[in-house]
């Protein structure tokens, strides 16, 4: 079976939906003989910022000489991004072999594993085969019942709490915090920022006591004299969380190593700038109101009062109206576009719901929307999937865009 056919089988599992719970993952990991007890496991949850914290952690650990595995989701452009060894996406041929082994393993199971369970199992088996030393795990959604929580961790980090995925995680910040804090394990240290909503912090502190997890509350962002590879004041909070966790588990690390790792950290589509002769394009994966607000703050830091053309698109389960209300005042004009995934909404649908002002347009094809904006500042935002397609269009992907439901 070709790599594309193997991936098509795995993607074909997605319509079965999401199944929160650890029983299926534990069964799969046992069948795959996954034993992570010899690894250092860094587990990161949160509404926003968890990918950036993972990127900071992985970069520092790699610079220190450790062999790292980074599991994240969703991918921006290609599936291989989800499974990185020393930050490099795993070779497609290796992924193909792993998927074929999974297919043979589960084909007769009565309770078929979900896409995310299979992807988690594939990643962990691959990391063990690659003999990594440090495993950086980003939760897919929530935490308590997320497949990644089947792994015993050495430290747990919660980056932020805001409203997102309410269908699955609850309608209040307290309920969402309880799901995120479900990654806390007995005796395992936990790290959170002080600027969480009070309702969320109360739940998290209560969960830390209940599980006997030593809780460290990070009081301030990393100072400005520390250079970071990612833009925005909010990244100083993310970097501070990473540094705090590193000091807990790796107190032996020299500060020069930590500083270098933070400065060299990369994470695509987080205020990623493409500077061209006549225009500057910013691609950002902001996909909920809280992330949109941070995006506006970062824009002001970088560009002051200069206003971009906003190319906006999102998927069906997101609060498009709240997100757009945050981004609209930033823009000189808006181009509504489609997100190229089955969950994506059409640009014409968004424009009808959100309203158009003089100068706005609907261009369903993102490449065409980008081609129309030939000069000045351009901002692409509203969805990680849209950001991934933008990276492909701008030649910053190195692969063809693979649409995904999860």
For 43-105, the DSSP string reads EEE-SSSHHHHHHHHHHHHHHTT--EEEE-SS-SS-GGGGEEETTEEPPHHHHHHHHHHHHHH
* Whether pLDDT at 348 is above 70: yes
Q: Does 160 share its domain with 306?
A: no
Tens digits of per-residue pLDDT, 46-94?
999 999 999 999 999 999 999 999 999 999 999 999 999 999 999 989 9
Q: Are strands 272-275 and 279-283 parallel, antiparallel or unpaired?
A: antiparallel
Quote the domain boundaries for residue 292.
Answer: 272-393
CATH number of 282's domain: 3.90.190.20
pLDDT confidence bin for 285, thresholds 50/70/90 = very high
* Whether pLDDT at 142 is above 90: no
* Whether pLDDT at 304 is above 90: yes
Residue-level pLDDT at 232: 95
Q: Does 203 share its domain with 255?
A: yes
280 is a domain residue:
yes
402 is a domain residue:
no
399 is a domain residue:
no
Q: How many domains does the chain have?
A: 2
Residue-level pLDDT at 401: 80
Q: Does 252 share its domain with 286?
A: no
Tens digits of per-residue pLDDT, 156-193?
999 999 876 565 676 799 999 999 999 999 999 999 99
| Cα–Cα distance list, 4 to 77, 92, 115, 135 (Å) | 14, 9, 16, 27
What count of Cα atoms within 13 Å lies in the side-chain half-sphere of residue 43?
Answer: 29
Q: Is the peptide bond before 346 cis (omega within 30 degrees of 0)?
A: no
Least confident of 110-114, 157-161, 211-215: 110-114
3 in helix, strand or coil?
Answer: helix
Q: Does 305 share its domain with 164?
A: no
User: Among all chains, which residue has been given the structure tokens 């992807």?
Assistant: 119
Q: Does 336 share its domain with 382?
A: yes
List, as own/partner pairs, every contact residues 266-269 make where C-beta atoms lie below 8 angstroms and the sequence separation is at least 24, other chains included.
Answer: 266/55, 266/59, 266/87, 266/229, 266/230, 267/51, 267/52, 267/55, 267/230, 268/76, 268/387, 268/391, 268/396, 269/76, 269/384, 269/387, 269/388, 269/390, 269/391
Select from 256, 376, 292 the least CA-distant residue to 48. Answer: 292
Instruction: Give this prediction's pTM.
Output: 0.94
Residue-level pLDDT at 162: 86
Q: Does 82 share its domain with 189?
A: yes
End position of a domain, from candidates 264, 292, 310: 264
Q: Does 286 share its domain with 160?
A: no
319 is a domain residue:
yes
400 is a domain residue:
no
User: What is the average pLDDT value for the chain, to the nearest integer?
Assistant: 93
405 is a domain residue:
no
Q: Does 372 share its domain with 246?
A: no
10 Å Cβ neighbour count for 15?
9
Average the pLDDT over 209-225 and give the result: 97
Residue-level pLDDT at 121: 97
Residue-level pLDDT at 13: 87
Q: Does 277 share its domain with 357?
A: yes
């Amino acid at each position: 079976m070709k790599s594309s056919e193997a991936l098509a089988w795995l993607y074909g599992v997605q319509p079965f939906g999401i199944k929160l719970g650890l029983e299926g993952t534990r069964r799969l990991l046992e069948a795959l003989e996954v034993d992570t007890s010899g690894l250092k496991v860094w587990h990161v949850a949160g509404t926003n910022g968890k990918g950036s914290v993972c990127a900071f952690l992985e970069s520092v650990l790699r610079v220190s000489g450790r062999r790292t595995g980074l599991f994240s989701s969703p991918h921006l452009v290609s599936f291989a991004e989800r499974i990185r060894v020393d930050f490099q996406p795993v070779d497609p041929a290796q992924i193909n072999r792993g998927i074929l082994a999974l297919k043979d393993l589960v084909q007769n199971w009565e309770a078929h594993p979900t896409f995310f369970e299979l992807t988690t199992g594939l990643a962990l088996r691959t990391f063990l085969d690659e003999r990594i030393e440090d495993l950086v795990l980003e939760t897919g959604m929530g935490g308590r019942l997320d497949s990644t929580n089947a792994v015993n961790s050495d430290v747990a980090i919660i980056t932020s709490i805001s409203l997102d995925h309410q269908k699955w995680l609850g309608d209040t910040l307290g309920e969402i915090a309880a799901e995120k804090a479900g990654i806390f394990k007995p005796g395992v240290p936990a790290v959170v920022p002080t600027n969480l909503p009070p309702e969320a912090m109360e739940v998290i502190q209560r969960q830390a006591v209940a599980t006997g997890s030593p809780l460290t509350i990070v009081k301030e962002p990393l100072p400005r004299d520390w250079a970071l590879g990612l833009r925005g004041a909010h990244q100083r909070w993310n970097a501070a969380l990473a540094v705090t966790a590193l000091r807990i588990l790796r107190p032996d690390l020299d500060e020069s190593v930590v500083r270098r790792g933070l400065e060299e950290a990369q994470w695509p589509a987080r205020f990623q700038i493409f500077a061209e002769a006549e225009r500057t394009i910013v691609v950002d994966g902001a996909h909920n109101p809280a992330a949109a607000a941070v995006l506006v703050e970062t824009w002001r830091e970088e560009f002051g009062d200069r206003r971009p053309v906003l190319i906006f698109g999102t998927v069906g389960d997101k609060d498009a109206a709240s997100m757009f209300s945050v981004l609209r005042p930033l823009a000189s004009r808006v181009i509504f576009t489609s997100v190229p995934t089955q969950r994506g909404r059409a640009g014409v649908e968004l424009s009808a719901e959100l309203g158009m002002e003089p100068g706005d347009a609907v261009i369903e094809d993102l490449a065409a929307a980008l081609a129309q904006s030939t000069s000045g500042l351009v901002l692409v935002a509203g969805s990680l999937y849209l950001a991934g397609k933008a990276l492909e269009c701008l030649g910053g992907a190195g692969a063809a865009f693979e649409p995904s439901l999860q």
